[in-house]
Amino acid sequence: MKKLIIFYLFSIIYSNDQIPGLKQKRPILLRGGVLHTVSGQVLEGFDILFANGKITTIDKQIKPSPDTDVYDIYEKHVVPGYIAPITQIGLVEIGAVKQTRDYSEVGNINPNVSANVSYNPDSELIPVTRSNGILIANSVPHSNGLIPGQSSCMMMDGWTWEDATIKHPTGLHINWPNMRINFSKNAKSNEKKQRDSYQKKIRELDRLMRETHSYHLRTSQKERRADQKQQTDLKLKALIPYFIDKELIIIRANSVRQITAAIEWSEKYDLKIAVAGGRDSWRITDILVKYNIPIILQHVQTTPMRRYEPIHSSYKIPSVLQEKGVKFCLSTDQGYPFNGHVRTLPNEAMRSAAWGLSKEQALRSITLSAAEILGIDKRVGSLDPGKDATFFITDQHPLQISSNPVEAYIMGKKVDLSDRQKMLYEKYKEKYRRKGRLD
């Protein structure tokens, strides 16, 4: 019986029945919409023309060529696709079912792990995420180890992981050790052992830094004797772009001690970092501004870290960061039960707008700001000529809770916005219509 249940689960959860969008063949002109460019002003009554998957012109009363498809979208809003900067979408289906978890590898240090090759474009979570305007997701390996791997920016449409990849890698992820000391009577170890535990992990990062530099020096030599041949080390090789070439490292840290220690470590080796989590970031904005550290703020809609803090303190963090000049974007949390709720990303921005951010600042925090931090802002994140035609059309202001995306395009391809929830809604609405309880 157990085997039959597992087989049934795989048959229903491991794929969705939606067909990826068809590559754009003809230019498309959308006339008279409200364009939320994000990089500039909100343009009311403007037209947007895109061809071959790229935005070509934004202006009033664009004259179309004979082969252009023209659609009127008067009073509708055109919005850049939302970007989820920290998520495991495509890497896990049901957290309780081990066979659907493909976001981690065995071991404490796995810098050679790449998210995109494990990405499942047929995940049932993708359609429901996409139908709420999230068109791009940064899929992140996740484990309790020190270095879980490298993340990849994926489009929410495609036949294969190669089709869906927009950028790989977007960064190396490091889980900074917990530096909180438990002084309670129930603590499993004393203060000294707790300090030794997190200091050991930091020393491990220092060791990796030294070994990576040595490995790079040996492998970069053009001429070597036969007895000096260097065996390939996949883990050290994967660290070279980050420890040597200074590509982005995303460090998961929440407390003041974690964030400041991570910044000190990065400055010691002159590394480029961003902080994911950042729940205490509002306390050290001067340090973040001084060292130009961007924050990927996860889970605004949550309770405070400390009992004595006001219940709304988490909601106000984005407005504090904005006021102090800290570069940031918003993200949902990762892991169970958040993997299935990436679709709520706009709600994080709405909550921030209700507690200090302007609507345009809140919209930027889930579009262009996320693109800038992940290094994909030349392609997506705003409505500008030359960028990918990755956006959606909604019937109201995008940060109204009642707004609904009615159409979406990813690189000019019109994508299906149906999902399992909508299908069930229509199914049971029909049930009560047949009973005469609905018109």
Which residues contact residue 260 at a Cβ distance below 8 angstroms, ignoring those fewer than 6 apart? 284, 287
Please indicate, yes or no, if residue 24 is contained in any of the structural domains.
Answer: yes
Co-location of 263 and 410 in the same domain? no
- Structural domain including 252 reads 83-179+247-380
Co-location of 312 and 404 in the same domain? no
CA gap 242, 239 in Å, rounded: 5
CA gap 174, 111 in Å, rounded: 9
Please indicate, yes or no, if residue 6 is contained in any of the structural domains.
Answer: no
Please indicate, yes or no, if residue 229 is contained in any of the structural domains.
Answer: no
Please indicate, yes or no, if residue 314 is contained in any of the structural domains.
Answer: yes
Co-location of 92 and 165 in the same domain? yes
Co-location of 124 and 55 in the same domain? no
Q: Beta strand 391-394 with 77-80: parallel, antiparallel or unpaired?
A: antiparallel
Q: What is the mean pLDDT of residues 269-286?
A: 96
Q: Confidence class of residue 3 from pLDDT cuts 50, 70 and 90?
A: very low
The yes-or-no verdict on residue 438 having pLDDT over 60 is: yes
Co-location of 297 and 315 in the same domain? yes
Average model confidence (pLDDT) across the chain = 90
The yes-or-no verdict on residue 1 having pLDDT over 80 is: no
Q: Beta strand 82-87 with 134-139: parallel, antiparallel or unpaired?
A: parallel
247, 212 Cβ separation under 8 angstroms? no
Quote the pLDDT of residue 295.
Answer: 98
The yes-or-no verdict on residue 153 having pLDDT over 80 is: yes
Quote the pLDDT of residue 11.
Answer: 44
Quote the pLDDT of residue 228.
Answer: 62
- Tally of domains in the chain: 2
Q: What is the mean pLDDT of residues 284-293?
A: 97
Query: What CATH number did the domain enclosing 61 receive?
Result: 2.30.40.10
The yes-or-no verdict on residue 25 having pLDDT over 70 is: yes
Q: What is the mean pLDDT of residues 70-78?
A: 95
Calculated CA dihedral for residues 358, 363, 364, 366, nearest 10 degrees: 130
Quote the pLDDT of residue 101.
Answer: 80
Quote the pLDDT of residue 224.
Answer: 64
Quote the pLDDT of residue 428.
Answer: 94
Residue 148 three-state SS:
coil
- Structure confidence by residue, pLDDT tens digits, 240-275: 999 999 999 999 999 999 999 999 999 999 999 999
Please indicate, yes or no, if residue 22 is contained in any of the structural domains.
Answer: yes
What is the number of other CB atoms lying within 10 angstroms of the CB of residue 43?
18
What is the number of other CB atoms lying within 10 angstroms of the CB of residue 3?
7
Co-location of 271 and 313 in the same domain? yes
Weakest-pLDDT range from 44-58, 143-157, 174-188, 232-246? 174-188
Weakest-pLDDT range from 44-48, 69-73, 96-100, 368-372? 96-100
Which residues contact residue 78 at a Cβ distance below 8 angstroms, ignoring those fewer than 6 apart? 30, 33, 34, 35, 36, 48, 383, 391, 392, 393
Please indicate, yes or no, if residue 242 is contained in any of the structural domains.
Answer: no
Co-location of 278 and 397 in the same domain? no
Co-location of 366 and 319 in the same domain? yes
The yes-or-no verdict on residue 227 having pLDDT over 90 is: no
Please indicate, yes or no, if residue 7 is contained in any of the structural domains.
Answer: no
Q: Beta strand 295-298 with 273-277: parallel, antiparallel or unpaired?
A: parallel
Q: Which residue has the higher pLDDT, 2 or 225?
A: 225
Please indicate, yes or no, if residue 8 is contained in any of the structural domains.
Answer: no
Q: Confidence class of residue 225 from pLDDT cuts 50, 70 and 90?
A: low
Query: What CATH number did the domain enclosing 161 receive?
Result: 3.20.20.140
Report pTM: 0.92
Quote the pLDDT of residue 5.
Answer: 46
Co-location of 161 and 304 in the same domain? yes
Tokens 């927009």 locate to 166
Q: Is 128 exposed, middle or buried (0-12, 13-18, 19+ CB in 10 A)?
A: buried
The yes-or-no verdict on residue 8 having pLDDT over 60 is: no
- Residue 375 token pair: 């290094």
Co-location of 156 and 92 in the same domain? yes
The yes-or-no verdict on residue 149 having pLDDT over 50 is: yes
Co-location of 29 and 165 in the same domain? no
Q: Confidence class of residue 188 from pLDDT cuts 50, 70 and 90?
A: confident
Q: Confidence class of residue 229 from pLDDT cuts 50, 70 and 90?
A: low
Co-location of 351 and 404 in the same domain? no
- Structure confidence by residue, pLDDT tens digits, 104-146: 888 899 999 999 999 999 999 999 999 999 999 999 998 888 9
